[in-house]
Structure 1
Amino acid sequence: MKSPFVFTAGLVLLLAACSQPSEPIEIMAEQLHASTDRLTEVMVHDIFSPPVASRVYAYPSIAAYEIMALHNDSYRSLQGQVSGLEGIPKPSAESPVNYRLAAVIAHMDLGRRLIFSEEKVTDFRDSLYGVWEKRNPKEFEASRTYGLEVAEFIAAWMKGDNYDQTRTMSKFTVDTDDPSRWQPTPPSYMEGIEPHWNKIRPFVIDSAAQFKPSPPPPFDMKEGSDFYKEVKEVYDISNDITERGDTSEEVAIAQFWDCNPYVSVTRGHLMFATKKISPGAHWMGITKIACRDTGSDFDKTTYAYAKAAIAMADAFISCWDEKYRSNLIRPETLINEYIDDSWKPVLQTPPFPEYTSGHSVVSGAAAVALTDIFGEDFAFDDDTELKYGLPVRSFTSFRQAADEAAISRMYGGIHYRKAVEVGVKQGRDLGAFVIANLRMEEKAAPVAALSESQNK
């Protein structure tokens, strides 16, 4: 039988431990970086298309931003600034909500809803929940309740963006009678992805066609025509690069910015996909680098992710609108038919029409958004692709990085010059419109659109 003294002493110690005040839950920018990184990892695993990936980044980023802006007077809500968004619910004044914690919880919950492998986000979330709950149960529960309430609110708004409707629309029909029209390419000959993405509700731009670019040169495979020159230029550049070997700078640039989640590898009778990030994922990685390099706190980091994600989401809507309007055939198809039937591009051709270059448009828009936040001459080392076996590349500005991302498509043999040059301008024009029409910083003066000379 245990001594009453031992029992009493143990009870006293237990009550003393329970009566000790809980520690405040400190949320830093790293928690938001980790949540965004987990979304990227899951999307790479699940093989999300680039347009869909941009949507996955946008809504969680907006949810986190809206909660943060409600608590920080230096930032303005996106209510009335992005299409259809109303003010988020507010917690009761008595509730001990930790706004930063609620923002991360909302980010994780919306991210979980938008991917396939939910358990990968759920496991990550639960590991954090355990730490937070142990540190301060009351603060955690209040913050979780509020974060999930906002996530539910943003999810209801998200439902109105036509995404679900596009899942039931017809597949893209290949026009085999018109030699200028896009055709599936080797090795997997996938059908055209997301042909109805222009029907997704934009965030800031007025419509998918608002930044409709100038058309590509008229299709004409006669030697000497403007279009033939574009095709031949891709072929000549590719041959020059491959003759100099895989160690050439152009090959390094092409591989660094490949960002094609659909790369297929054939071995014997087997075909499998290699894991790569999307263009949007690469630029969200650059956003993380910029935030870390500047020591940005949680609030500024939330702001940066939201602005970059919104610009890129609208850029994909704009670009995909043009892709399936012009429906232009890829270099690989024409070079094999008219010039060299054994030619292969440095990069694998992605499964959608050529014009304009998606990476060029999205990179142009992302670079404008990040320049608006971090400045024109922001030098950084881009280690985004390290985990995929590619070395660090250094840039003197976001604009330089966007220009390199754009030209990488020609080096890779998957785009013509006009798709690259017009594409990056399309993205920059769109990005300038987004930052001019999103007043996210309360004390900031309205941002003027880029001049025409800057867009060239």
Structure 2
Amino acid sequence: MKGWSKYWVLLTGICLMTCQTDDSYKEKVTDPVYLDNTLSKLTDIIVYDIFSPPVASRIYAYASIAGYETLRHGHPDYPSLAGKVSELTEIPMAKSEDVNYNIAGVFAFAEMGKALIFSEPKMDEFLDDLKSRYTEAGVPRKVLEASIAYGLEAKAHIMEWAKKDNYNETRTFPKFDIREDPGRWQPTPPDYMEGIEPHWNVIRTLIIDSAQQFTPPVPTNYDMTEGSDFYKEVMEVYETGVNLDEERTGIAQFWDCNPYVSHHKGHVMFATKKITPGGHWMGISQLAARIDSADIMKTSKTFVYTSIALFDAFISCWDEKYRSNLIRPETVINRHIDENWTPLLQTPPFPEYTSGHSVISSAAAVALTSIYGDEFHFDDTVEMAYGLPMRSFNSFLEASSEAAISRLYGGIHYMPAIANGVAQGRKLGAFVVESLNEG
């Protein structure tokens, strides 16, 4: 009997250790690093594929929504976005008890992002690595397979909804109509590209009721008579550009966020790829979550609030851009003030009013402030990967204000586009937050 007793004690001990080992992965996969790394990879691919800022915002938003809506099934304190986000319905709960929602949410995010990019093999490589990391963390094969399968189901659910947002239809819409009206936007040097996404205002919004809900005041009337309001605005841009100091130059370059900057030397042309403005703010959302030591669900909420604010802000801004069709400073200054003047930054290929940086940065800052508070110091290291130094801020709104004024320093915008863009973005951001926080 004593022998059998010792045997059963030993067997019980082994069983207990095995059970603990089998379950230890559950805590490991709650680490937000998996989701954070997935967003970083998505940003890398967006930069590589050279998506325009509005289109990039769509990728971020749908991937973030897929991740959040999947993850929340394992975190019941977090409500669904269904009923708040336009036409979105809840992703059904998993049928298999083997599904781990923390794992499934990361794969839903990645797979949704993969469905919207060009370079799918790059995401496939990342997914293979992600599977290996989960396996090394001790995730049982049946759990990993069930979680991946459910992540794909979640992605399919979100994809079916995303396909109805008018994006595909706008690919066949007519190009922007270029006319020689004196104050109307014209393509700018060095590439004289056509206006990008002139029909972005018909993309289905996520929270705001329409692209026109936060329409800003009309821009200053075009009038190059010396002493007119518009003339003064033009001269402000010109004189700011002529008298740039090191600090303002650094600010402009830090917030440039132009996904495709072309360089011309004689007959040679090459391009520099960089992060989009929305990508910069998604990077700031990552920094905020890391600094706060946010868990995986709060991290997901951070990404989804920020990306939704960015998505609707781009629609609102682009609606005004292609309604007012205001001429860029570079064109006016070259025609009437100084034909040899060039802005510090390359002028992006779309109308001037309102400032995209001002609108989207303000909206994103309001969204992040709603989660992390008014006083949140952070060192913005997002642009270091693109050869720019770190900048420090005491709040998200402080950062967004600097992003806005950077466009004057860069020679890209007149002041009304900046000031009215900030107001537009903050109002929109507050509405997005209020709507998402309901219920």
TM-score range, shorter chain: over 0.9
Aligned equivalent of 1:162: 166
Distance 2:409 2:133 in 1: 48
Q: 1:412 aligns with which of 410, 413, 416?
A: 410
1:269: how far off?
Answer: 1.1
Distance 2:84 2:199 in 1: 24
Q: 1:77 aligns with which of 77, 80, 96?
A: 80
Aligned equivalent of 2:110: 108
Q: Which amino acid aligns with 2:56?
A: A
Distance 1:262 1:190 in 2: 11
Q: What TM-score comes out, normalization by structure 2 length?
A: 0.93
Q: 1:231 aligns with which of 223, 229, 234?
A: 234
Q: How many residues align?
A: 417
Q: Which amino acid aligns with 1:196?
A: H
1:138: how far off?
Answer: 1.0
Q: Which amino acid aligns with 1:398?
A: F
1:156-194 CA distance string (max 9 Å, x none):
000000000011111111112x11100000001100000
Aligned equivalent of 1:431: 429
Q: Which amino acid aligns with 2:242?
A: N
Aligned equivalent of 2:58: 55
Distance 1:103 1:153 in 2: 13
Distance 1:439 1:157 in 2: 22
1:400-432 CA distance string (max 9 Å, x none):
000000000000001000000000110000000
Q: 1:391 aligns with which of 389, 392, 417?
A: 389
Where does structure 1 lack aligned partners over 5 or more consecutive residues? 1-15, 443-456
Q: 2:156 aligns with which of 131, 140, 152?
A: 152
Aligned equivalent of 1:142: 146
Alignment of 1:2-401 (within 5 A): 22=22, 24=25, 26-27=28-29, 28-92=31-95, 94-133=96-135, 135=138, 136-176=140-180, 178-241=181-244, 244=245, 248-401=246-399
1:132: how far off?
Answer: 2.7
Where does structure 2 lack aligned partners over 5 or more consecutive residues? 1-14
Distance 2:131 2:266 in 1: 46
1:272: how far off?
Answer: 2.0
Q: Do the aligned partners of 1:133 and 1:141 also contact (CA within 8 Å) in 2?
A: no
Q: Do the aligned partners of 1:356 and 1:419 also contact (CA within 8 Å) in 2?
A: yes
Distance 1:414 1:303 in 2: 33
1:275: how far off?
Answer: 1.3
Distance 2:134 2:39 in 1: 19
RMSD, aligned CA: 1.4
Q: Do the aligned partners of 1:253 and 1:404 also contact (CA within 8 Å) in 2?
A: yes
1:262: how far off?
Answer: 2.4
Find runs of 4+ consecutive structure 1 residues off by over 6 angstroms.
none
Residue aligned with 2:437, SS: coil
1:271: how far off?
Answer: 1.6
1:300: how far off?
Answer: 0.4
Aligned equivalent of 1:3: none
Distance 1:24 1:80 in 2: 34
Aligned equivalent of 1:7: none
Distance 2:406 2:150 in 1: 44
Q: Which range moved further: 407-416 or 60-69? A: 60-69
1:133: how far off?
Answer: 4.5
Distance 1:132 1:395 in 2: 35
Q: Which amino acid aligns with 2:308?
A: I
Q: Which amino acid aligns with 1:365?
A: A
Distance 1:170 1:365 in 2: 30
Q: Do the aligned partners of 1:110 and 1:151 also contact (CA within 8 Å) in 2?
A: yes
Q: What TM-score comes out, normalization by structure 1 length?
A: 0.89
Distance 1:30 1:112 in 2: 19
Q: Which range moved further: 277-286 or 126-135? A: 126-135
1:203-257 CA distance string (max 9 Å, x none):
000000110000111110000000110000000111111xx4xxx1000000000
Distance 1:44 1:146 in 2: 28
Distance 2:394 2:132 in 1: 42
Distance 1:115 1:268 in 2: 33
Q: Which amino acid aligns with 1:408?
A: S
Aligned equivalent of 1:452: none
Distance 1:214 1:404 in 2: 22
Residue aligned with 2:264, SS: strand
Q: Which amino acid aligns with 2:156?
A: E
Q: Does the C-alpha gap of structure 1 residues 131 and 379 become closer, same or farther in structure 2, counting only changes over 3 Å? A: closer
Distance 2:260 2:351 in 1: 14
1:44-90 CA distance string (max 9 Å, x none):
11111000000000011001111122221221100110000011111
Q: Do the aligned partners of 1:361 and 1:424 also contact (CA within 8 Å) in 2?
A: yes
Residue aligned with 1:360, SS: helix
Distance 1:302 1:142 in 2: 21
Distance 1:373 1:439 in 2: 11
